[in-house]
Structure 1
Amino acid sequence: MNVTIWHNPRCSKSRETLELLRKEGVAPAIREYLKQPPSKAEVEALLDMVGGDPGALVRDGEPEFKVLKKKKAELGKADIVKAIAAHPVLLQRPIVVSGKRAAIGRPPEAALAVLK
């Protein structure tokens, strides 16, 4: 099973999710998205795999979000893709990807859904 975690080692939830995956016997590929920023196509793919509200992928407490001068609910998919590709810090973390499925690890246990 190929599993990738979009990871920020400075984030406690990201570290907890990585530890949880390892306890489940999964050795995920680790994508440190702040060091390897996603392309627009990758952000679009993540949005499609996570499904639901595209705004769930955006960290609206970051200073980079405030310069958008919009509320999260006002952002369309194209706005979100553009913003995250330009400012990867806006990507909600962690995200665990397996096959064509992805889940945000908030709480960390939520990420286990993609393993089933």
Structure 2
Amino acid sequence: MKATIYHNPMCGTSRKTLEILENEGADIDVVEYLKAPPSRDELQRLYLRAGITPRQGLRDKEPLAVELGLTDPSVSDGVILNAMMEHPILIQRPLVETEKGVRLCRPQDEVRQIL
């Protein structure tokens, strides 16, 4: 099975999710999204396929999210996506895509739903 993981190697949950994919024998494309962030259109597509909003994909505990006012409920998804493009650290991880769907794998066992 082919899988793409939007990964941060510094994140324990992301590392554990990658380990699950490896143990399941997936053919994995690892995208270190802090070095090579997805385009705005790609991120929108992933969120749509996962059934979540950009707000749900926001790392709202990231100090920058608070500093930029992104945790205010009145901020639109478009503004959140634009901020994610400028500051990829705001993208919650790990996102995993397979032919069965996309999941924001928090906790890491969420990945099993799309294997």
Same fold by TM-score greater than 0.5: yes
Deviation at 1:72, TM superposition (A): 5.2
Residue of structure 2 equivalent to 1:95: 95
Residue of structure 2 equivalent to 1:9: 9
Residue of structure 2 equivalent to 1:54: 54
* Counterpart code for 1:63: P
Residue of structure 1 equivalent to 2:106: 106
Deviation at 1:73, TM superposition (A): 3.3
Q: Equivalences for 1:56-71 in 2 at 5 Å?
A: 56-71=56-71
Deviation at 1:100, TM superposition (A): 6.8
Residues in 2 aligned to 1:105 and 1:70: alpha-carbon distance in whole angstroms: 22
Q: Which runs of 5+ in 2 are unaligned?
A: none
Between structures 1 and 2, the one with greater helix share: 1
Aligned residues between the structures: 115
* Counterpart code for 2:17: T
Residues in 2 aligned to 1:29 and 1:105: alpha-carbon distance in whole angstroms: 16
% identical equivalent positions: 38
Residues in 1 aligned to 2:39 and 2:98: alpha-carbon distance in whole angstroms: 19
Deviation at 1:83, TM superposition (A): 1.4
Deviates more, 1:69-78 or 1:99-108: 69-78
Residue of structure 2 equivalent to 1:45: 45
